Structure 1
Amino acid sequence: MFVVIDPIGLAPLFVALTQGMTEGARRRIALRATLIGILILLAFAAFGEALLAFIGISMPAFRVAGGILLFLTALDMLFERRTKRRDDKREEEREDPSVFPLAIPLIAGPGAIASVILLMGQRPGIDGALHVLGATGIVMLIVMAFFLASGLIERALGKTGVTVVTRLLGMLLAALSVQFVLDGLSAFGFGPGAG
């Protein structure tokens, strides 16, 4: 779960998405994003594939949709659209990235959801469920700790450093989003790795 959710990789993304916000606003976003991520993963741990099957969504389709949404966020980061929109708004009207893209699909993305479903299936019973949920809970606490330390990260990088990291992470996020789409399409039998 630590590798799939990647708290270390999420920290600079959190800095980029909350650039210029007050410490209080960042704290609220960090807590909200982590809580929403935990609730989503708990829902999928409890109900698993039955939830997706009930609404008629396959895991590959979920990957493709998540990839497309992440790509739009990556474009905003690359071309400073998010920053410009924030500059045009007062502090209390700024965008809240806690639900999208932080909680979904960065924390509780297709990989984390699929991992929770698979791990719960591999470890049936109360002991297995407690083991999986405990490990996921510890990873989520680490995510929140990195998010809460974002002010220190931003100060260490400085304004120019944050700009450079934002552009670089925008590129990496675009590549990750394309990978999500390709993984989803290959599961449907399209592209490399299909079959």
Structure 2
Amino acid sequence: MEFKPLVTLLAIVNPLAIIPFFIHYTQDLSPALRQKTAWVSSFTAFVVIATSALLGVRILEFFGISLASFQVGGGMLLLISALNMLNAKPAEMKATSTDLTDGDEKAAMGASVAVVPLTIPLLTGPATMSAVVIYADRAKTVWQMTTLIGYGVVVGLVTALCFSLAHPIARVLGRTGINVMTRLMGLILAALAVEVMASGLGKLFPILARTGG
């Protein structure tokens, strides 16, 4: 399988952009608990990706949704995420995520913040799941599916590395550097989103595919 799925996942998840949130949510935790939070969050991100890869297509079939329609809808989600990133916002950030910033509760929650809100919705959300399902459908062999899940492992490890080095990275890059990286990844993701939507539209409206050829 090509490396495009890995590039897409790294662009959507974009752990560099989540570093400020990680620092915020874990600032009252001990270094050991902060490290544990980083690993739990990274593992949970892998679980979301692996589950979407293994069960996503079957869920679509259960609801009677064609992959072409899902590609168009998923591509739109990716494009929205890319636009958010071009405005230097985390790809999966939700407006309601600010409801989870009660400073008095962070220490008591401990490692639970690794799942919500760090992993869901900040790291992995609808755009991530949509991308994984689309690429999972293209995986025609066990090896290709295994590779896709392996990309989930890579994303998890990159996330763990970024979170483990959150404070040094934040000091080196600064907010401006993180914003620049986020915009660059957003530009890449926008191009990938257009490709996904074009593929879905070509299946829904074959005349478009013939015209494009």
Q: Which residue pairs with 2:138 in the alignment?
A: 115
Q: Which residue pairs with 1:161 in the alignment?
A: 177
Structure 1 residue 35 displacement after superposition:
0.4
2:190 matched to 1:174?
yes
Structure 1 residue 67 displacement after superposition:
0.8
Structure 2: how far apart are the matches of 1:113 and 1:7?
A: 15
**How large is the Cα RMSD of the aligned pairs?**
3.6
Q: TM-score, normalised by structure 2?
A: 0.64
Question: Structure 1 residues 87, 36: CA separation in 2 closer, same or farther (over 3 Å shift)?
Answer: closer
2:151 matched to 1:139?
yes
Kindly, what percent of the aligned residue pairs are identical?
A: 24
CA contact (8 A) 1:74 1:171 kept: yes
Cα offsets for 1:106-162 (capped at 9, x unmatched): 4x241x21133x22xxxxxxxxx5x55654443332221111111448445443221
Structure 1: how far apart are the matches of 2:8 and 2:174?
A: 19
Question: Structure 1 residues 56, 6: CA separation in 2 closer, same or farther (over 3 Å shift)?
Answer: same
CA contact (8 A) 1:78 1:166 kept: yes
2:88 matched to 1:72?
no
Question: Structure 1 residues 81, 10: CA separation in 2 closer, same or farther (over 3 Å shift)?
Answer: closer
Q: Which residue pairs with 1:149 in the alignment?
A: 161
Equivalent residue pairs, number: 178
Which amino acid letter does the alignment assign opposite residue 90 of structure 1? T
CA contact (8 A) 1:16 1:166 kept: yes
Question: Structure 1 residues 177, 187: CA separation in 2 closer, same or farther (over 3 Å shift)?
Answer: same
CA contact (8 A) 1:64 1:184 kept: yes
2:209 matched to 1:185?
no
CA contact (8 A) 1:2 1:139 kept: no
Question: Structure 1 residues 19, 84: CA separation in 2 closer, same or farther (over 3 Å shift)?
Answer: farther
Q: Which residue pairs with 2:30 in the alignment?
A: none
Question: Structure 1 residues 55, 150: CA separation in 2 closer, same or farther (over 3 Å shift)?
Answer: same
Question: Structure 1 residues 178, 138: CA separation in 2 closer, same or farther (over 3 Å shift)?
Answer: closer
Q: TM-score, normalised by structure 1?
A: 0.69
Q: Please state whether the residue corresponding to 2:3 is helix, strand or coil.
A: helix
2:14 matched to 1:13?
yes
2:35 matched to 1:35?
no
Q: Which residue pairs with 1:61 in the alignment?
A: 69
Structure 1 residue 20 displacement after superposition:
3.6
Structure 1 residue 15 displacement after superposition:
1.6
Unpaired runs of 5+ residues, structure 1, are 120-128
Unpaired runs of 5+ residues, structure 2, are 27-33, 107-115
CA contact (8 A) 1:66 1:109 kept: no
Cα offsets for 1:141-194 (capped at 9, x unmatched): 222111111144844544322110111222222222222111110122257534
Question: Structure 1 residues 143, 113: CA separation in 2 closer, same or farther (over 3 Å shift)?
Answer: same
Structure 1: how far apart are the matches of 2:145 and 2:199?
A: 26
Which amino acid letter does the alignment assign opposite residue 155 of structure 2? V
